[in-house]
Amino acid sequence: MRLQYGFSLVEVLVTLLVLKVGLLGVLAAQTLALRQVNDATQRTHAVAFSHALLSHVQANSALAELVSGQITSATEIAPVPPCGPEHLCSAQQLAQGQLNQWWQTKSGLSKPVLCTEAEGAALLLEISWQQRSAADPGFAECSPGVGRSGFTLQSRWR
C-alpha cells in the first residue's frame, strides 16, 4: 500500500455531519434564549404597567371604581374630560383622565387582560398577556394559562 495524503471523502462527510449537528444545537439554544428574553421583557412591562395603576389609585381612590372588573384591549376607555383653569375637574373626571393616560402605556404587552377588585382600601389586581411565541388562544382570561403569562398583586392604598 502506498502512503496516503489528505483526507478521505468519508472523513470529510463525518466531520460535516458533526459540525451540522453542533450548529443546529447552537441555533436551538439561540432561539430558546430569544424567547426567554422576550417573555422577560413582557413581564417587566406588565410589572411597570401594574405599578403605574397602583400608584394612580393611591393618588386618587376614585380610580379604583373605574378599573373594577375586567379590562381588555377591546374595552372602550372614555376620552379625557376637558379640565383647565376655567373648568375644574371632579375626582371622578380626574380618575377618568388618569385611566385614559395609564391605558395608553400598555404598548409593551401583547393582548393584555386586567381584572381588578376593590374591597375597602385594598385592590386585588390580576393581569395576563399573550406570550409572543404562542398562538392566539381566542378569548383571554385574567389568569395565566396555555399561551398566556400573568401574575396577581394585592395592594392597600390607605
Prediction pTM value: 0.72
- Retrieve residue 136's grid coordinates: 392566539
Tell me which amino acid residue 3 is: L
User: Which residues partner with 89 through β-bridges?
Assistant: none
pLDDT at residue 17, rounded to an integer: 96
DSSP code of residue 145 = B
**Residue 136 confidence class, pLDDT cut points 50, 70, 90:** low
Burial class of 1 by CB neighbour count within 10 A (0 to 12, 13 to 18, 19+): exposed
- The per-residue pLDDT for range 9-36, each reduced to its tens digit, is 888 999 999 999 999 999 999 999 998 8
Helix (H) or strand (E) holding 129: strand 122-130
- Quote the longest CA-to-CA distance of the chain: 105
Q: What is the pLDDT of residues 37-92, one digit of tens each?
A: 988 888 898 888 888 888 888 888 788 778 788 888 777 777 777 877 787 888 78
- The candidate with the shortest Cα–Cα distance to 52, out of 129, 116, 126, 105, is 105
pLDDT digits (tens, 9 = 90+) for 82-134: 877 787 888 788 888 888 888 877 777 888 888 888 877 788 889 888 887 66
Kindly state the cell numbers that stand for 12: 470529510
